[in-house]
């Protein structure tokens, strides 16, 4: 049985930037049950303020600009003009001040500290490797791509996307540790490959729970592994990430059910899709046809 959707990571756990009344919020992840990361897309108005620390780690992606941003860390101050694609990274546990000098379309991502710790263990990093470094205006193509991927998933408001988001959260954590931490050595894998039995247990669990809103932790638990270890080794063993494998299994079940003339809305729910529109979009991505067209073609 999949993990029930909860309130998850809330905006009330963030620094408070997103609660400023001048912000025009476009979309936030509140209510989606995401526990490993928080996301928000908004139009920020110029401001200057100081924020107390939180435990989790903030990534801000600038989607337009350029715009001037000044940052204060203790007595240290720095200002940069940040272009589109620039990143502002603030590790957890730090107070900071910021002055935004113009309007900004931004995406804020918060990554849980426990995800950072989990990924660090899997990479074999010692305690000093957990110390993330503040960044102001850096460019990181992979980080930008991951943040935009989170934004795309959030826009669909799909509660069945948890495996995908849990996976992306760990990719974000790994990138933070590799490129934006105090660790200067070579990250190493601390565990070996998945056994055939572990892979089979994970796949059997997917097959038995296709209609459920599964999480990465659910799949990892079925194999007796941490989510990070499972996600990385499952992809190495099968060639695709767990969420893509799971989605392909759901599409294959849907294809079989379509041949039996069951109502499409019932097929969508039975195969773990949140609603018929979501089912149609994913089915078309995998098959190149809508469910209705696939059914008509099979009947001819």
pLDDT of 176-234, one tens digit each? 998 998 875 554 444 457 787 888 888 989 989 988 888 898 998 988 888 888 888 88
- The confidence score (pLDDT) of residue 150 equals 95
- 8-state DSSP, 108: E
Q: Round to whole Å and give the CA distance between 60 and 47.
A: 16
Q: Which of 298, 257, 270, 205 is nearest to 2 (CA)?
A: 205
What's the mean pLDDT when you consider all of the chain?
88
pLDDT per residue over 246-279, tens digit each? Answer: 989 999 999 999 988 789 999 998 998 878 888 9
- The confidence score (pLDDT) of residue 3 equals 42
What count of other Cβ atoms lies within 10 Å of the Cβ of residue 185?
A: 10
Cβ 179 vs Cβ 204: under 8 Å: no
Can you point out the beta strands (E) in the chain?
24-28, 37-44, 47-51, 57-62, 67-73, 76-82, 87-90, 96-100, 104-111, 135-138
- The confidence score (pLDDT) of residue 278 equals 84
- The confidence score (pLDDT) of residue 185 equals 53
Q: 34: which strand partners?
A: none
Could you give the domains of the chain? 11-179 (2.60.120.10), 196-239 (1.10.10), 245-299 (1.10.10.60)
Query: Is the pLDDT at 13 greater than 70, yes or no?
Result: yes
% residues pLDDT > 70 (the chain)? 92
What are phi and psi for residue 87, nearest 5 degrees?
Answer: -120, 140
CA dihedral 79, 85, 90, 95 (to 10 degrees): 40
Greater pLDDT, 67 or 182: 67
Q: Which of 69-78, 160-169, 282-291 has the highest mean pLDDT?
A: 69-78
- The confidence score (pLDDT) of residue 151 equals 94
* DSSP reduced 3-state for 106: strand
Structure tokens that stand for 26 in this block: 């476009």
Rg for the chain (alpha carbons), in Å?
21
* DSSP reduced 3-state for 72: strand
- Among 42-56, 71-85, 110-124, the range scoring the smallest mean pLDDT is 110-124
pLDDT per residue over 102-129, tens digit each? Answer: 999 999 999 999 999 999 988 877 665 5
pTM above 0.85, yes or no: no
Q: Residue 98: left if φ>0, alpha if ψ -120 to 50, beta else—which one?
A: beta
């Amino acid at each position: 049985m999949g993990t029930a959707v909860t309130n998850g990571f809330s905006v009330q756990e963030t620094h408070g930037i997103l609660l400023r009344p001048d912000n025009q919020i476009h979309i936030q992840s509140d209510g989606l049950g995401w526990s490993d990361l928080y996301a928000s897309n908004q139009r920020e108005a110029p401001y200057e303020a100081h924020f107390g620390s939180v435990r989790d780690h903030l990534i801000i992606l600038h989607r337009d600009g350029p715009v001037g941003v000044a940052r204060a860390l203790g007595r240290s101050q720095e200002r940069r003009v940040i272009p589109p694609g620039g990143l502002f990274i603030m590790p957890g546990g730090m107070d900071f001040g910021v002055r935004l000098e113009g309007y900004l379309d931004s995406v804020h991502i918060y990554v849980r500290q426990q995800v950072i710790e989990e990924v660090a263990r899997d990479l074999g990093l010692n305690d000093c490797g957990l110390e993330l470094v503040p960044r102001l205006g850096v460019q990181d193509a992979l980080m930008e791509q991951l943040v935009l991927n989170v934004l795309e998933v959030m826009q669909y408001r799909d509660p069945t996307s948890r495996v995908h988001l849990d996976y992306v959260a760990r990719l974000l954590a790994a990138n933070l540790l590799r490129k934006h931490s105090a660790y200067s050595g070579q990250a190493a894998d601390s565990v070996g490959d998945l056994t055939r039995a572990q892979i089979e247990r994970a796949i059997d669990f997917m097959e038995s729970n296709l209609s459920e809103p599964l999480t990465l932790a659910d799949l990892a638990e079925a194999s007796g592994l941490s989510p990070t270890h499972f996600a990385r080794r499952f992809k190495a063993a099968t060639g695709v990430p767990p969420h893509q494998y799971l989605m392909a299994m759901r599409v294959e079940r849907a294809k079989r059910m379509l041949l039996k003339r069951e109502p499409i809305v019932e097929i969508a729910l039975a195969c773990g899709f949140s609603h018929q529109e979501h089912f149609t979009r994913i089915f078309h991505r995998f098959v190149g046809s809508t469910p209705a067209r696939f059914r008509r073609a099979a009947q001819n």
